[in-house]
Structure 1
Amino acid sequence: MEESIYGLKPYLETLTLGITKILETSPGVTEVNFSERPAAERHKIVSWEQKNSCSLPEDLKNFYLMTDGFQMTWSIKFDGNPMQLGSMVINSISKLGRLGESAIYTLPNAPTLADLDDEEGTESQRRKPSFDSRHIAFELDPCNGNGKVCLVYRNVKKGVVSLDTEIWFLDRALYWHFLTDTFTAYYRLLITHLGLPQWQYAFTTYGVSPQAKQWFNMYKPITFNPALLLDEADAFVNKLDPNKVFRTKSKTPVTKKKLPAQPTASPKIHGSMGATKSTSLPSNPARK
């Protein structure tokens, strides 16, 4: 069910980390839509894991137990007409399909994705995923045809449940680019980039196109510096607690006892970005 953000359930602000407030106040934005989805049934998650011999990362599993996928779009007024600009997508568990599962790869003598493999490293000095049996990749986001964001399982062994995962971007030329170690970190990047066109290319050696760069400068200048993001991503995304965001639990009332008066502590900020449009990222965090 797709509806305006104004009629959504209270968990929207938590799920989007308050980014809707930034969009509401951004120049030219005319509409923000959110596709509300129920939680994935637990047996569907178990069925997916059994079918693929892969165990979902705990943060991604908790995400699906809160909402079966994610889709949020926003539009601007361009030349007098509405135009969708931002798109944030995470496929549902049923659409978390394995990369390369297509009829064209089963034809006799047809080339396979494995024919594209080489042994070169990536710009992040990590060994890139292969298209053979050593790795398995599942599509998290089709990126509007600009590539694919994938959940990649490394060190795959036949008969053994795969556990080792990373998030990678596969561009249209079928080159791999590392994004993050965890789904939580990737989710944070997706939200803070507002789903702008080609934002994933900011993590490649050749960067975003000139047209996409204009949209970056207009709507998200804070995160446009890829080098800054790569250096500070860990500290930045660690503000997101997946145990609080990617799970819905009812809280049991607790009887409070009176304590001696103490100085009032400053309120904690739980990751909301609603009023932090000009806030700088943390400085000089330790890289992992």
Structure 2
Amino acid sequence: MEEEASSPGLGCSKPHLEKLTLGITRILESSPGVTEVTIIEKPPAERHMISSWEQKNNCVMPEDVKNFYLMTNGFHMTWSVKLDEHIIPLGSMAINSISKLTQLTQSSMYSLPNAPTLADLEDDTHEASDDQPEKPHFDSRSVIFELDSCNGSGKVCLVYKSGKPALAEDTEIWFLDRALYWHFLTDTFTAYYRLLITHLGLPQWQYAFTSYGISPQAKPKGSEGRSKRGCF
């Protein structure tokens, strides 16, 4: 069982947490209206946990992902705002622990028995272009692991682009929206982590990297074509 401790009001008392959050806690805590800035402390992963994950999944974990887990086995930071007399949860930044860094499969995507298979969606997959890399595939051509469930608004994924056995240099970070469309985020985990912190974990911030932007449900035009793909 992983030991976890909640640490509100970090201040400067825990420099290792300040390093982990790139100093964003100070900015949040000094911002008007922001309250309950909390990080759930997680112990570092042991090297054998990383080796076991690699052997189980037949994938070599990228060095920056390894270094992250050797610092903390997962990450979860939240903050709220005070509006009148009410405290409203707003920001949430999360990275799954190694035990929850699981491969996306048909069963993890759908709960309905008559849902289409992931292979049915391959017809809509576009190849690489000058401004966009080739999108991940739901079949054996790609190996996909969930980094963050985004509180149900999509999935941030570590994607191995060349199937198994999967090499560390073949990885990218992608966002899979609720309509099961892929959106490229970054080439490396480190770059994604900086994006996560920079956007403060605001709700649906990953949609800023889609063509339809944040809160697509607020934009009815063009949504009909996406709804046929289903959602998870």
TM-score by length of 1: 0.67
Cα distance in 2 for partners of 1:200, 1:104 equals 19
The reply to whether residue 85 of structure 1 matches residue 83 of structure 2 is no
The reply to whether residue 55 of structure 1 matches residue 23 of structure 2 is no
Structure 1 residues 112-166: Cα deviation after superposition (integer angstroms, max 9, x where no partner): 2111113424784221101000001100011011100000001114xx3433100
Aligned to 1:206: 212
The reply to whether residue 4 of structure 1 matches residue 8 of structure 2 is yes
- Cα distance change of structure 1 residues 200 and 104 upon mapping to structure 2, 3 Å threshold: closer
Q: Which secondary structure does the structure 1 equivalent of 2:133 belong to?
A: coil
- Cα distance change of structure 1 residues 195 and 211 upon mapping to structure 2, 3 Å threshold: farther
- Where has structure 1 moved over 6 Å in runs of 4 or more? 107-110
Aligned to 1:176: 182
Given that 2:153 and 2:177 are in contact with CA atoms closer than 8 Å, whether structure 1 keeps it comes out as yes
Give the residue type in structure 1 aligned to 2:89. Q
Given that 1:122 and 1:177 are in contact with CA atoms closer than 8 Å, whether structure 2 keeps it comes out as no
Structure 1 residues 171-190: Cα deviation after superposition (integer angstroms, max 9, x where no partner): 00000000000000000000
Given that 1:53 and 1:162 are in contact with CA atoms closer than 8 Å, whether structure 2 keeps it comes out as no
Give the residue type in structure 2 aligned to 1:144. N
Match of 1:196 among 191, 198, 202: 202
Cα distance in 2 for partners of 1:11, 1:121 equals 42
- Cα distance change of structure 1 residues 104 and 155 upon mapping to structure 2, 3 Å threshold: closer
Aligned to 2:147: 140
Q: Greater share of strand residues, 1 or 2? A: 2
Cα distance in 2 for partners of 1:104, 1:94 equals 18
Cα distance in 1 for partners of 2:183, 2:125 equals 14
Unaligned runs of 5+ in 2: 219-232
What's the CA shift for 1:100?
Answer: 1.6
Q: Which secondary structure does the structure 1 equivalent of 2:140 belong to?
A: coil
- Cα distance change of structure 1 residues 133 and 145 upon mapping to structure 2, 3 Å threshold: same
Give the residue type in structure 2 aligned to 1:95. K
Match of 2:136 among 129, 141, 149: 129
Cα distance in 2 for partners of 1:39, 1:172 equals 32
Matches within 5 A, 1:92-111: 92-100=97-105, 102=107, 111=116
CA-based RMSD of the aligned residues comes to: 2.6
Give the residue type in structure 1 aligned to 2:96. N
Cα distance in 2 for partners of 1:109, 1:31 equals 43
What's the CA shift for 1:27?
Answer: 2.0
Unaligned runs of 5+ in 1: 213-288
What's the CA shift for 1:81?
Answer: 1.0
Cα distance in 2 for partners of 1:140, 1:88 equals 11
Q: Percent identity?
A: 70
Q: Which secondary structure does the structure 2 equivalent of 1:59 belong to?
A: helix
Q: Which has the higher contact order (CA 8 A, sep 6+)?
A: 1
Give the residue type in structure 2 aligned to 1:45. I
Cα distance in 1 for partners of 2:194, 2:26 equals 16
Cα distance in 2 for partners of 1:103, 1:176 equals 17
Aligned to 2:162: 155
Aligned to 1:21: 26
Paired residues, what number? 210
Given that 2:93 and 2:196 are in contact with CA atoms closer than 8 Å, whether structure 1 keeps it comes out as yes
Given that 1:122 and 1:176 are in contact with CA atoms closer than 8 Å, whether structure 2 keeps it comes out as no
TM-score by length of 2: 0.83
Given that 1:135 and 1:156 are in contact with CA atoms closer than 8 Å, whether structure 2 keeps it comes out as yes
Q: Which secondary structure does the structure 2 equivalent of 1:102 belong to?
A: helix
